[in-house]
């Protein structure tokens, strides 16, 4: 959580998130404790932070992989499972975005606008009015395709988001178990800063 608080306070990428914290606290430069309290009071602020991070192809997973070679053999299987989960979490993290705000939906709309302008171009500028119903038919089919594709992608987002949530909780539980067994220290796994943000 410390990394999140520091990034909200000091990294320009999160200025909009910081503005929400400032509104909530009523202070221009909120302290770490005030940012932490704002995150607890308003979960939407944390979701906005996470959304911004994923939109810029950064990761919200602030944990490094466990070095298998340096771990107690009794804990090796759980450590390998944690590393496996972290790889999967990083791969499907992009599906934690709201589908309505995803680049996938923007791409679908962009293609449809291109098709619409192409239809108008063919009919008006190329004087193909005799074929306009065929051209409008192609446009109607493209709208149907876009709707079906968007529906399929929304389902993919929902499925992967549910898998992400489940895997995330499972991974945290495994880390807690390994920490109780004395195999790892959770603090040693945290990535406190990232060159990606500099």
Give per-residue pLDDT as tens, 132-178. 788 888 888 988 999 999 999 999 999 999 999 999 999 999 999 99
Q: What's the pLDDT at 197?
A: 43
Determine which of 44-48, 119-123, 177-181 has the lowest per-residue pLDDT on average: 119-123
Q: What's the pLDDT at 194?
A: 62
pTM: 0.70
- Cβ atoms 5, 11 nearer than 8 A: no
Q: What is the pLDDT of residues 6-51, one digit of tens each?
A: 888 888 888 888 888 998 889 888 998 998 889 899 888 888 888 8
Q: What's the pLDDT at 198?
A: 39
Task: Tell me if residue 27 falls in helix, strand or coil.
Answer: coil
Sole residue written with tokens 């009071």: 41
Task: Give 71's pLDDT tier (boundaries 50, 70, 90).
Answer: confident
- pLDDT above 70: percentage of residues in the chain: 96
Q: What is the pLDDT of residues 89-112, one digit of tens each?
A: 999 988 887 787 777 888 888 888
> Which residues fall within 8 angstroms of residue 130, CB to CB, at 6 or more apart?
none
CA dihedral over 107, 108, 112, 113, signed as positive or negative:
negative
């Amino acid at each position: 959580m410390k990394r999140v608080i520091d990034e909200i306070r000091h990294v320009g990428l999160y200025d909009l998130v910081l503005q929400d914290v400032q509104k909530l606290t009523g202070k221009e430069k909120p302290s770490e404790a005030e940012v932490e309290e704002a995150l607890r009071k308003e979960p939407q602020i944390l979701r906005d932070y996470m959304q911004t991070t994923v939109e810029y192809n950064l990761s919200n997973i602030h944990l490094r992989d466990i070095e298998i070679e340096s771990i107690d053999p009794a804990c090796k299987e759980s450590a390998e499972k944690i590393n496996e989960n972290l790889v999967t979490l990083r791969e499907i993290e992009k599906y934690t975005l709201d589908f309505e705000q995803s680049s996938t939906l923007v791409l679908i709309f962009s293609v449809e606008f291109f098709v619409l302008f192409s239809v108008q171009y063919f009919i008006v500028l190329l004087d193909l009015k005799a074929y306009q119903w065929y051209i409008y038919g192609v446009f109607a089919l493209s709208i149907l395709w876009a709707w079906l594709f968007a529906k399929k992608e929304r389902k993919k987002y929902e499925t992967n988001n549910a898998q992400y949530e489940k895997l995330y909780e499972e991974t945290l539980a495994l880390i807690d178990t390994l920490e109780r067994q004395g195999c790892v220290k959770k603090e040693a796994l945290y990535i406190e800063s990232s060159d990606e943000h500099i």
